[in-house]
Structure 1
Amino acid sequence: MKVAVISAAIATALFAVPSVAIIDTFLWPIPQSLSWGDGKLNIDNSFKFDAPNVPELQAAVARYKKLIWKERWTSVQVPFGNATTQNHASHGKLKSISISIKDKKADLSPDVDESYTIDIPENASTGTITAQTIWGAMHGLETFSQLVKATSDSHNAGLYVAKTPVKIKDAPKFPYRGIMLDTARNFYSVDDILRTIDGMSYNKMNVLHWHITDSQSFPLLLESVPELGDKGAYTLHGKRLGYTKSDVKRIIKYARARGVRVVPELDMPAHTASWKGVEGITTCTEQFYLDPTNDWGNRYANEPTAGQLNPINPKTYEIVNKVIDEVTSWFDDEYYHGGGDEPVNHCWQDDKGVSDYMQKNNVTGDDLLETFLNKELATIKKNKKTAILWEDAVTSLHLNIPKETILQVWTGSIKDAVQAGHKVIASSYNFFYLDCRSGNWNGNDTTVDEQVPPTVPQKLQDYINNNYPDWAGNLIASPNFGGVAGDWCAPFKSWQRVYSYDVTYQLTKEEAKSVLGGEVALWSEQSDSMTLDMKLWPRAAAAAEMLWSGRYDSTGKQRDIGEAMPRMFDWRYRLVERGLRAEPIQPLWCGKNPHGCDLNYPWVFTHPNDGGGY
């Protein structure tokens, strides 16, 4: 037997015979360092995990023991090359995995050590998972579960560890690997959120950013200000759609048991029409978000419905303080997201009291926003939380915001945010917005009424052809038409697009240290319980690998979508098996005919002896 060494860059390996390795075990996300052989170590029926007596770890051990026997996985993706090649059978049986933890008391914090190693020798009765913390050990359990496969022999049905001996040394590239879930535009049940957390744990994602409230609804049923939820939460068929304190605690407990932190966001001062339960603290509430001229510059909000917190009313800050105090007491994470995005000055100017104040004190809407945000941030700090804001206030408006505030960058420049002295979470809408190109959700939009493609002026066509020939097809000759359809962030972000996001692009090595990681965002204007899984998975899994494994491997080589494709193909089916209604990414035929669906003529067809396995 010859051991194949697989770096984080490539999952192909060469053996003496046959010349092309048959890699039929597909790991996601790909480990930082992996070596494995061509052995097949059967798992004994009495198999167990020997783990320290730590409640969260014992619960994880029980889950994964149940999972590997229930899943009984056989790969859907067919390996490229000589598919008849079999792993040679080991003479031993794996009876246990011994888990050792160096720091059993390390809490689930933003800087917790999530590294782990796996060592499964050939012919061994015992393998090991070693980790600094229980949270790293949980990631090791997930990777181990992906190494386990079911035998295809019906007379000897059992499980085995493929490709022994196996040695893995793994750790995340970025400490922050998140999903943002918006529960204000449309409502998700507690079970929907728990299922999302399951998917995150399978993909080694560790932060659920819960965008709880927005203009459309206030679904959090607070005890200190009950009128906010009473009047701001949706009702459907006579049922109020909201989250109680016990709901929140259940979600946090479930997430923690799976190594996932929950960071709440109550957006303010904009996106707060749903705060109407307390009279007098909002402006331009109930206004249509546009005025009769349809001039975007005269809008009251960026989308329905209009309403912003009144920045000069003392009662506003009294309510804001109560809300933040209670919410931070419910959520135990060190981070708290304060929102801060998309304020519209017209909404404040529409209020006579605010307008008179601005004129009397010679202040602008930006001045009012800076005052509000700094008061909000002071309350967050008083509650011993690290604040996160959407980046608008710094990168677009250049307001004076404390440097300890983390910025979530969605439209602006990560470099600008870093150079302004802030830590950053990357969420570019060009890569990480999963709601993009779902189509228009506004009423009375007639721009979709195009029966033929729009005519391109000949001068413009000639100019593009002569000066930008490589772009001409995308800018002019696209076969797609049908109106702008109100979709500001088109096109649809495919898993390949998500996978391609380089969150440290054009940053120096020193600047890159300020990027904590990234977060895919699912805004829910056109998503609810019926579509949640398909909108998230497997595209969020693409972000998970980029954030865990890194856009580049340890040698500096950029990760290849073509190499990731068969692993992603198989992983999608595995997510479905685990209860997530993940969207298909190719016809099943493509997985059964490796490279048969490539966009360009496959390199491996002309170089069959140079590493055509996965």
Structure 2
Amino acid sequence: MSWCFYYYPTLFIIAFSFCISQTLAAKISQTHNSLPFIWPLPAKFTFGNDSLSVDPSLSLIGNAAASAIVRTAFDRYKGIVFRNGNSFGGFLRTVTVDYDVTKLNVVVNSKSEELQLGVDESYNLFVSKDTTGSGKVTIEANTVFGALRGLETFSQLCSFDYSTKTVQIDKAPWSIRDKPRFPYRGLMLDTSRHYLPVDVIKQIIESMSYAKLNVLHWHIIDDQSFPLEVPTYPKLWKGSYSKWERYTVEDAYEIVNFSKMRGINVMAEVDVPGHAKSWGTGYPDLWPSPSCRMPLDVSKKFTFDVLSGILTDMRKIFPFELFHLGGDEVHTGCWTNTSHVNKWLENLNMTANDAYEHFVLRAQNMALSKNWSPVNWEETFNTFPTKLHPRTVVHNWLGPGVCPRVVAKGLRCIFSNQGVWYLDHLDVPWDEVYNAEPLEGIHKASEQKLVLGGEVCMWGETADTSDVQQTIWPRAAAAAERLWSERQSTSTGKSDSTALLRLQYFRCLLNRRGVPAAPVTNFYGRTAPIGPGSCFDQ
């Protein structure tokens, strides 16, 4: 490799990058011959050495063709697979091609299209040649949402051959039997610290489906802004940054429906009693005082009337069975330092911590009355674990070791240890994200089942439309494989080049699909390439 920087010693970094990219691109190509570059890695698979061409007029057959969800997804993926246009199937082609694969057979066993936690997302995907030499591709699934996961895998098997200008399925025949490891595989999106337009949120949801993530945790509201329309209390969205940075009820419906078409649930969050200062912009009586604005005033009936109105309106929009009530970082100084709140505490013989518990449990009861299972950040469990409702899901974030304590008490847990799965922590490398284990320290099968899964968190203080996708990807994909694939079948760590090469390949796949995923191995997340080179080295 010395020739790469012999003539240009002052351009050592750029030249060295060029040489490494050539080397890694070649290594990826070689590895692709011995291991499929499917992300996340399927549970069980076999493959061969043949190639099959795919007809750009590919048609959908099978009983799943009756499902609007599957038909729409088929058209969507067809556009992805044949993104190179008509040059390989239109007027520029002078030679007639006999394509091997002309039909995609999708069979679904259930007519139900209800999307809830734990819905069956398993699928089988078979690619073969029949006795006549024609290619045959079949996806079998128990639900339409399993069929969606199978379509994503099928799309990753297809690649454009530039020499023949045809789409090929390499390594046929294929036999893939796949299912997720965890039922909850999430991404949290914060639209309070920076407003994200609806189209940007939809782009993120689309990219989530490529990595088989299935829950968008929408952290809509926080101290900084209240962008959501609440018809029962219309002054609440006076807390938005501006009149142009808001979400209507129709916007929220659109996001939920767009997500469902991709097999993704939307879990909304209303974080109380802290992180709610923006509420008082429209309704100042929600503040303990004009000079002490959080947490929400626990002493007033009006506070709980507003919360009940918000939840009632949101229940019409969000059908998912989980609803996040926050409960984190509640600093009660405003309560004890405001005379009327402090007097209320004294009259009820309550401490500020008692009032914190009172607020959280009252909010939980509101959610439960609307047939939601409440989700709370871990501080609620750390402070009053025996008082939480048995249906509570505890959301870990402060550090490791929380989920083992939660499931030992019989409660469910979501893993989001900030040390590894907070995407705004830009100095966390891909392999630390990848190696994080939601079941660490949990050995009983009965307790392991109580870990629903996990989510990566995209807090928005330093991310907006200009850089949010680069911050999410590709590190979110590392967590996605940990949550989908069987632990024993996935490689781990920088020392194992297989995981890195496959992730680099997936990052380039995201780029080809229009997702501005950042380089994989840069020291800081979302940073740009340092110089020329192959996508696979960045």
TM-score, scaled to structure 2: 0.85
Maintained 8 Å contact 1:403/1:422? yes
Say yes or no: does 1:134 pair with 2:144: yes
- Match among 519, 524, 527 for residue 584 of structure 1: 519
Amino acid in structure 2 at the alignment position of 1:146: Q
Q: For each residue in 1:519-565, what CA deviation from the matched residue of structure 2 results, as whole angstroms up to 9, or x when unmatched?
A: 000111111111111110111111111101043339xx868752111
Say yes or no: does 1:36 pair with 2:47: yes
Say yes or no: does 1:148 pair with 2:158: yes
More helix by share: 2
Aligned to 1:52, the other structure's residue is in SS state: helix
Task: Please state how far the C-alpha of 1:310 moved relative to its aligned partner.
Answer: 1.1
Amino acid in structure 2 at the alignment position of 1:369: Y
Partner of 1:345: 332
- Match among 296, 310, 314 for residue 301 of structure 2: 314
| Structure-1 separation of matches of 2:273 and 2:535 | 53
- Match among 277, 280, 289 for residue 285 of structure 2: 280
Say yes or no: does 1:121 pair with 2:128: yes
Residues 194-205 of structure 1: pairs in structure 2 closer than 5 A: 194-205=202-213
Task: Please state how far the C-alpha of 1:41 moved relative to its aligned partner.
Answer: 1.0
Amino acid in structure 1 at the alignment position of 2:507: R
Partner of 1:108: 115
Task: Please state how far the C-alpha of 1:395 moved relative to its aligned partner.
Answer: 2.2
Partner of 2:89: none
| Structure-2 separation of matches of 1:103 and 1:164 | 29
Amino acid in structure 2 at the alignment position of 1:129: I
| Structure-1 separation of matches of 2:113 and 2:515 | 30
Partner of 1:502: 437
Q: For each residue in 1:79-113, what CA deviation from the matched residue of structure 2 results, as whole angstroms up to 9, or x when unmatched?
A: xxxxxxxxxxxx97111120000002141110210
Aligned Cα root-mean-square deviation (Å): 2.4
Say yes or no: does 1:206 pair with 2:142: no
Maintained 8 Å contact 1:199/1:580? yes
- Match among 477, 482, 488 for residue 552 of structure 1: 488
| Structure-2 separation of matches of 1:58 and 1:205 | 20
Residues 489-528 of structure 1: pairs in structure 2 closer than 5 A: 492-510=427-445, 511-528=447-464
| Structure-2 separation of matches of 1:67 and 1:97 | 15
Aligned to 1:573, the other structure's residue is in SS state: helix
| Structure-1 separation of matches of 2:336 and 2:425 | 31
Task: Please state how far the C-alpha of 1:20 moved relative to its aligned partner.
Answer: 8.8
Partner of 2:239: 232
TM-score, scaled to structure 1: 0.75
Q: Which stretches of structure 1, 4 residues or longer, exceed 4 Å deviation after superposition?
A: 284-287, 557-561, 586-594
Maintained 8 Å contact 1:28/1:568? yes
Q: For each residue in 1:269-310, what CA deviation from the matched residue of structure 2 results, as whole angstroms up to 9, or x when unmatched?
A: 0111111121322225554xxxxxxxxxxxxxxxxxx52111
Q: For each residue in 1:101-150, what CA deviation from the matched residue of structure 2 results, as whole angstroms up to 9, or x when unmatched?
A: 00021411102100001111144432100000000001100000111111
Q: How many residues align?
A: 481
- Match among 487, 501, 505 for residue 566 of structure 1: 501
Amino acid in structure 2 at the alignment position of 1:546: R
What 5-or-longer segments of structure 1 have no aligned partner? 1-18, 73-90, 288-305, 438-491, 598-614
Inter-CA distance 574–377: structure 2 relative to 1 (3 Å threshold): same
| Structure-2 separation of matches of 1:261 and 1:43 | 32
Report sequence identity in percent: 33
Inter-CA distance 407–57: structure 2 relative to 1 (3 Å threshold): same
Task: Please state how far the C-alpha of 1:65 moved relative to its aligned partner.
Answer: 1.2
Aligned to 1:121, the other structure's residue is in SS state: strand
Maintained 8 Å contact 2:226/2:279? yes
Partner of 1:333: 320
Task: Please state how far the C-alpha of 1:373 moved relative to its aligned partner.
Answer: 1.2
Task: Please state how far the C-alpha of 1:21 moved relative to its aligned partner.
Answer: 8.0
Residues 91-102 of structure 1: pairs in structure 2 closer than 5 A: 93-102=100-109
Aligned to 1:563, the other structure's residue is in SS state: helix
| Structure-2 separation of matches of 1:261 and 1:52 | 23
Maintained 8 Å contact 1:409/1:425? yes
| Structure-1 separation of matches of 2:334 and 2:508 | 48
| Structure-1 separation of matches of 2:409 and 2:515 | 40
Task: Please state how far the C-alpha of 1:71 moved relative to its aligned partner.
Answer: 5.4
Inter-CA distance 330–38: structure 2 relative to 1 (3 Å threshold): same
Inter-CA distance 25–358: structure 2 relative to 1 (3 Å threshold): same
Partner of 1:268: 272
Residues 38-57 of structure 1: pairs in structure 2 closer than 5 A: 38-50=49-61, 51-57=64-70
Partner of 1:245: 249
Maintained 8 Å contact 2:190/2:220? yes
Partner of 2:375: 388
Inter-CA distance 528–21: structure 2 relative to 1 (3 Å threshold): closer
Aligned to 1:144, the other structure's residue is in SS state: helix
Maintained 8 Å contact 2:475/2:520? no
Inter-CA distance 568–340: structure 2 relative to 1 (3 Å threshold): same
- Match among 404, 409, 419 for residue 415 of structure 1: 404
Task: Please state how far the C-alpha of 1:361 moved relative to its aligned partner.
Answer: 2.9
Amino acid in structure 2 at the alignment position of 1:316: T
Aligned to 1:23, the other structure's residue is in SS state: coil
Amino acid in structure 2 at the alignment position of 1:424: C
Partner of 1:165: 173
Inter-CA distance 593–68: structure 2 relative to 1 (3 Å threshold): closer
| Structure-2 separation of matches of 1:182 and 1:138 | 26
Inter-CA distance 25–588: structure 2 relative to 1 (3 Å threshold): farther
Task: Please state how far the C-alpha of 1:152 moved relative to its aligned partner.
Answer: 2.9
| Structure-1 separation of matches of 2:356 and 2:112 | 41
Aligned to 1:209, the other structure's residue is in SS state: strand
- Match among 212, 219, 222 for residue 230 of structure 2: 222
| Structure-2 separation of matches of 1:264 and 1:248 | 10
